[in-house]
Structure 1
Amino acid sequence: MGNTRDYRYWLYEHQHNDVGEFFSMISNIVENNRVKINILLITTQEDLLKEFHNWLPEKYRVESINNVPIFTIRLSKEGHQSIKVVFVRHPHNPTIYFALSDCKSGEFKEIFTNFINKYFPTISRIFLTNNELYRIFHKIKELGYNVLVEFSVGKKRLSKTQKESYIRYTNKPYAEVFDEMYQHDQWVQSIRYRADLILNDGSSEISFRGTISRDCYFSAKKNISSLIHKIIPEAIQLASVRNEHLKLSAESAQEPKPKPTVINFEENVFEDISKNQSYVDALAELPSCSVSEYHTNPYIHLSLVDYLDGSSYDIWVVSSDRMVIIPQFSASNASIRRVVNHIFERIHDGVVEKYEKIVANSQY
């Protein structure tokens, strides 16, 4: 695999059936060819390849190579060069796929990520919170690396515009960067980092560089083994715990008593009722949704409809550190995850818990 044609054949065209062997091969490709690999985690309950064959968004064309558990598509978008993306079904969770490509990161996001977004809610994205991202960087540190953030992109909560991004070129330890974002009430969009392996004599050497984004986009150069075998599994585990609660809540939408989703906040986020309207306005900024206000003072009660798939929710805030989301009539797992991620971005990080855990002390 010494030249581009050789490694791209093994990456995209050869039929692989063993996921472990495939990822070992990817690690060798990155180390020997000095390429950057883009990775996006996606989730679906359906047969992914069949979905691509059954329907295509306008201006896109797909040609498939090979079959599950590892298959490739050549993806073309009108006005752009085609790219190849290889999909790997998670060996222990068949609803999760890794999507990998060695194309430029800009092409990956412009062509592939936009393509995937058009399949919502059948195919959807996986999101991480600030706290979960911090735990992932702590995991890298536990593996024996000194982690420096080269630059970060954050956005301020309750800002007048969601487009107001804060890009910092820091070259600081990851803990300092997260502390600064916490102090400025920002949510993390993406972080580019450098992981230096700490040697026995106390010195260090650059082991790998990469990017981790809130929407489970990853990239790495030089060494991808730790990313594949340690970092991404940690991200999947963190997101899966939360998403299982959300799935159960969404599936109960048509029951006589739907299961509420409870978000607990470590701080008294809603203590100042003069900010209630700002929180409602922030919720209403979720794209492709509508919000109807019933009450905003002294408590919050509103309904939210997700126009992307018709999901609907009642949202209540009657205590300073808790929000309750009750699915109404129809709700999808993808939609409720989208709503909760928006809350974490625009209002505050929280923890999703089972309603039964707090019902004894709840006013709902």
Structure 2
Amino acid sequence: MSADSTVPAAGRLSTPFDRRLWGAASRTGVPTSLLEAYEVVGLERGEQLAFETVICEDDPLDLLFGIDSGFPKVSNGSSSLMRIVNSDGDFIVASWATARKGVFHISGSVPTSDRRWMLVNRAISRTPEVMRCFLNEDMFRLLARKIKSIGRPEVVRMSAWRQSDASSLNRSWPVKADSYRYTPDDVFDFAHKEGTSVRSLTVSVENELHCHLRRTSGATFYSGQFQAFVQTVLDAFAGYSSERLDLLSNRQRVVDRPLGLPLTINLAENIFTSTAETERLRRFVEEGQQTSVAVLHDNPYLHLMVTDHADGSTFDVVVTSPKAVDIYPSFRSTAFSLSRLAQRISEQFSAEGIEESTPRARVSLDDLVGAG
């Protein structure tokens, strides 16, 4: 959403929360933290806040919308508010630095289903310098389990994805007077029995918290103890994102050094059992923005050379197992480009996790990986 002469004149902010937040920032300055913002502005009955946790090196709002976007912006240190002018009603997008270097929470008070928040999500998806963290499944499960520190969590709704037939599974559990609803662990076990991968959970913790959790390091706070939500859910997202950044950084090949272990995407089931399935992976990778693919080998194993033209990064993508994809960064590769590639594949093929590979018997690396 770059600057141009078509940006309309600012109108009325569409939510009471945004009006309070913008007004407070205009009077006394932008709050220095998310918790301070909540203390200053508060949340009234029926209001909600959506969050996306992202990794980037600079102010995410400038990266997402452009320094010269024409949208009013106010900042205080590493906290920023941007007023997005929109025909459906103006709204505020905020960014809050976390205790983890390079990790920010982006927040807004319009629902995630609103097409204005969809603009934010699209901006995140198309901005090479900003990346989400698609959580490993065990991390997502652990995150949901952490909520037990607040009280007994019950799952209200679940959405999951079945890779075998590319179908979704959505379940909800009504309140029962004589018993509890499923816990997050119950729901993960249920999803596994159904052959699905959990993508989101709506969780209620007695009268203490009601929130929605997304595996793409996002959440929505509906009601309850906001400080507990920040310290339990958002701080966990920030920690996992920082760990992912560490995993993806400094993995490029170095001249005169042995080739390191690849980054491995572990899948939940045997998917790449035929050339038709590996061809599906090739086509999917090729559909990435500013991406080109060269096929170096396609039978009996798959070996792709992938170039990200956004920053010139190159990677060898290799499939020698029916339930794993290996990525070897080349001499020029960045953490952000590696993240885009690995996390797109992970989401599409319902990966259990992304991790550094452990040594295992495989086809010779000299055969699989080219000179660069």
TM-score bracket, normalised by the shorter chain, equals: 0.7 to 0.9
What CA distance in whole angstroms lies between the structure 2 residues aligned with 1:47 and 1:86? 10
Pairs within 5 Å for 1:61-100: 61-77=70-86, 79-90=87-98, 92-100=99-107
1:232 is displaced (CA, Å) by: 1.6
| Matched-pair contact (CA < 8 Å) for 1:61–1:76 | no
1:104 pairs, out of 107, 111, 123, with: 111
Where does residue 262 of structure 1 map in the other structure? 263
| Matched-pair contact (CA < 8 Å) for 2:307–2:314 | yes
What CA distance in whole angstroms lies between the structure 2 residues aligned with 1:135 and 1:108? 31
1:179 pairs, out of 176, 189, 198, with: 189
- Aligned residues: CA RMSD: 3.3
Q: Say if 1:259 and 1:16 are closer, same or farther in 2 by CA, change over 3 A.
A: farther
Where does residue 168 of structure 1 map in the other structure? 171
1:124 is displaced (CA, Å) by: 2.3
| Matched-pair contact (CA < 8 Å) for 2:84–2:90 | yes
| Matched-pair contact (CA < 8 Å) for 1:263–1:350 | no
Per-residue displacement from partner, 1:242-280 (whole Å, max 9, x unpaired)?
A: 33121221xx2575656443326487747xx63353144
Per-residue displacement from partner, 1:92-143 (whole Å, max 9, x unpaired)?
A: 223111112222332452232223334x2122222213222111111112x1
Amino acid at match of 1:282: L
Q: Say if 1:38 and 1:52 are closer, same or farther in 2 by CA, change over 3 A.
A: closer
1:156 is displaced (CA, Å) by: 2.3
| Matched-pair contact (CA < 8 Å) for 1:189–1:214 | yes
Q: Say if 1:348 and 1:296 are closer, same or farther in 2 by CA, change over 3 A.
A: farther
What CA distance in whole angstroms lies between the structure 2 residues aligned with 1:4 and 1:346? 35
Where does residue 282 of structure 1 map in the other structure? 281
Q: Tell me the SS of whatever aligns to 1:277.
A: helix
Pairs within 5 Å for 1:234-245: 234-245=236-247
| Matched-pair contact (CA < 8 Å) for 1:157–1:345 | no
1:306 is displaced (CA, Å) by: 3.6
1:303 is displaced (CA, Å) by: 2.5
Higher-helix-fraction structure? 1
Q: Say if 1:11 and 1:329 are closer, same or farther in 2 by CA, change over 3 A.
A: farther
| Matched-pair contact (CA < 8 Å) for 1:16–1:22 | no
What CA distance in whole angstroms lies between the structure 1 residues aligned with 2:96 and 2:280? 39
| Matched-pair contact (CA < 8 Å) for 1:101–1:108 | no
Q: Tell me the SS of whatever aligns to 1:123.
A: coil
What CA distance in whole angstroms lies between the structure 2 residues aligned with 1:121 and 1:94? 18
Q: Say if 1:360 and 1:116 are closer, same or farther in 2 by CA, change over 3 A.
A: closer
Where does residue 343 of structure 2 map in the other structure? 341
Pairs within 5 Å for 1:28-47: 29-30=42-43, 32-47=44-59
Q: Say if 1:25 and 1:281 are closer, same or farther in 2 by CA, change over 3 A.
A: same
Q: Tell me the SS of whatever aligns to 1:248.
A: coil
1:76 is displaced (CA, Å) by: 2.3
| Matched-pair contact (CA < 8 Å) for 1:149–1:194 | yes
Pairs within 5 Å for 1:8-19: 8-9=21-22, 12-13=25-26, 14-16=28-30, 18-19=32-33
Percent identity reads: 14
| Matched-pair contact (CA < 8 Å) for 2:147–2:153 | yes
What CA distance in whole angstroms lies between the structure 1 residues aligned with 2:65 and 2:143? 35
Q: Give the TM-score of the pair, scaled to structure 2.
A: 0.76
What CA distance in whole angstroms lies between the structure 2 residues aligned with 1:116 and 1:267? 27
| Matched-pair contact (CA < 8 Å) for 2:315–2:327 | yes
Unpaired runs of at least 5, structure 1: 197-205
Pairs within 5 Å for 1:322-337: 322-337=324-339
Where does residue 121 of structure 2 map in the other structure? 113
Where does residue 132 of structure 2 map in the other structure? 125
1:219 is displaced (CA, Å) by: 0.7
1:327 is displaced (CA, Å) by: 1.6
| Matched-pair contact (CA < 8 Å) for 2:33–2:79 | yes
1:165 is displaced (CA, Å) by: 3.1
Q: Give the TM-score of the pair, scaled to structure 1.
A: 0.77
State whether structure 2 residue 158 is matched by structure 1 residue 156: no
Bigger mean CA offset, 296-305 vs 255-264: 255-264
1:5 is displaced (CA, Å) by: 7.9
Q: Say if 1:16 and 1:82 are closer, same or farther in 2 by CA, change over 3 A.
A: closer
What CA distance in whole angstroms lies between the structure 2 residues aligned with 1:108 and 1:259? 43
What CA distance in whole angstroms lies between the structure 2 residues aligned with 1:328 and 1:177? 40
What CA distance in whole angstroms lies between the structure 1 residues aligned with 2:214 and 2:187? 15
| Matched-pair contact (CA < 8 Å) for 1:284–1:291 | no
What CA distance in whole angstroms lies between the structure 2 residues aligned with 1:38 and 1:213? 11
Q: Tell me the SS of whatever aligns to 2:141.
A: helix
Where does residue 22 of structure 1 map in the other structure? 36
Amino acid at match of 2:21: R
Where does residue 368 of structure 2 map in the other structure? none
